[in-house]
């Protein structure tokens, strides 16, 4: 299977299912058998997913992509062994980052629900104009892309996490902030935005937010 078919959803689902690390193997860059050069799509997904993981508080080193040919059996074994050692050193998913299981579940679920939106943003605003490893690295580590990511994705991830929480029960600003490790002022800002869009409403009687 082409590595370009490893959707962002697949990566997040693996972590949701409790995998401590994800290793993606693709053919060498610029040696793709398809005109689409899907391995560059895989590389883009990895860069985006690492940014999402950082936003959730997960160590991005739990995700790796390596490019090699079908004849590189020894290299595959070396990379796999090295990655296994690295993941073991990081510890179990969430525990190594001191994130509770319930909090981690909500964050990953919220990120998965946002995948269609993230893919749209990537297609419209985060496309790399030149297909080379150096160009992708320079693009996804640039200040401009970091700004765009915060502007277009980070806030949406937080709102998605909050609405996932509110599906269980109404919560106050303080309770949401404590559970998700956010600043109360950040939660208030997200709630105002979500209220304007009709996603949530404030229950004056219970003094908390609930889904609209």
Query: pLDDT category, 78, cuts 50, 70, 90?
Result: very high
Long-range contacts of range 176-185, CB-CB < 8 Å, 24 or more positions apart? 176/209, 179/103, 179/106, 180/103, 180/106, 180/107, 181/57, 181/103, 182/158
128 and 45 in a common domain: yes
Q: Mean pLDDT check: name the lowest of 27-41, 102-116, 133-147, 163-177.
A: 27-41
**Same domain (yes/no): 92, 190:** no
What pLDDT, on the 0 to 100 scale, is given for residue 137? 95
* Per-residue pLDDT at 179: 85
* Cβ(198)–Cβ(187) below 8 Å: no
Helices (H), the chain: 8-16, 38-56, 73-90, 101-113, 115-125, 133-140, 143-149, 155-166, 173-180, 184-196
CA distance 30 to 48: 21
Residues 31 and 50 in one domain: yes
- How far apart are alpha carbons 18 and 87 in whole angstroms? 13
Average pLDDT of the residues in 165-170? 90
Q: pTM for this one? A: 0.88
CA atoms of 21 and 62, how far apart (whole Å): 5
Q: Is 118 found in the same domain as 15?
A: yes
What are the DSSP E strand ranges found in 38-175? 63-67
pLDDT value for 182: 84
**What tokens appear for 48 in the block?**
């985006």
* 78 & 144 share domain: yes
Closest alpha carbon to 140 in 28, 13, 40: 40
**Which of 48 and 193 is assigned the larger pLDDT?**
48
Which residue range forms the structural domain that includes residue 175? 169-212
Residues 29 and 87 in one domain: yes
- Segment 174-193 shows an average pLDDT of 90
SS3 37: coil
pLDDT confidence of residue 72: 83
Task: Express each pLDDT in 19-71 by its tens digit.
Answer: 999 999 999 998 877 777 889 999 999 999 999 999 999 999 999 999 998 78
Let me know whether 160 and 173 are in one domain. no
Number of domains comprising the chain:
2
Q: Residue 2's pLDDT band (boundaries 50, 70, 90)?
A: confident
153 and 173 in a single domain? The answer is no
Q: Identify the CA nearest to 112 among candidates 211, 13, 2.
A: 13
Q: How far apart are CA 123 and CA 168, in angstroms?
A: 33
Query: What is the model's pLDDT at position 115?
Result: 95
pLDDT, residue 164, reads: 86
């Amino acid at each position: 299977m082409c590595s370009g078919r490893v959707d962002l959803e697949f990566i997040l689902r693996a972590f949701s299912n409790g995998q401590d690390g994800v290793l993606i193997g693709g053919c060498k860059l610029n040696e793709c058998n398809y005109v689409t050069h899907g391995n560059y799509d895989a590389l883009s997904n990895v860069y985006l997913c690492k940014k999402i993981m950082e936003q959730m508080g997960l160590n991005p080193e739990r995700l790796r992509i390596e490019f090699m040919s079908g004849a590189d059996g020894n290299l595959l074994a070396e990379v796999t062994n090295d990655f296994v050692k690295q993941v073991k050193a990081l510890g179990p998913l969430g525990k190594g980052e001191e994130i509770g299981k319930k909090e981690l579940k909500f964050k990953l679920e919220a990120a998965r629900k946002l995948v269609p939106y993230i893919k749209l943003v990537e297609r419209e605003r985060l496309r790399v104009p030149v297909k080379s490893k150096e160009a992708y690295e320079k693009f996804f580590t640039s200040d401009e892309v970091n700004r765009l990511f915060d502007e277009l994705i980070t806030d949406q991830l937080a709102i998605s996490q909050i609405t996932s929480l509110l599906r269980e029960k109404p919560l106050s600003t303080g309770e949401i902030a404590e559970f998700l490790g956010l600043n109360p002022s950040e939660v208030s800002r997200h709630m105002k935005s979500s209220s304007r869009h009709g996603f949530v409403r404030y229950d004056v009687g219970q003094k908390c937010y609930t889904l609209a």
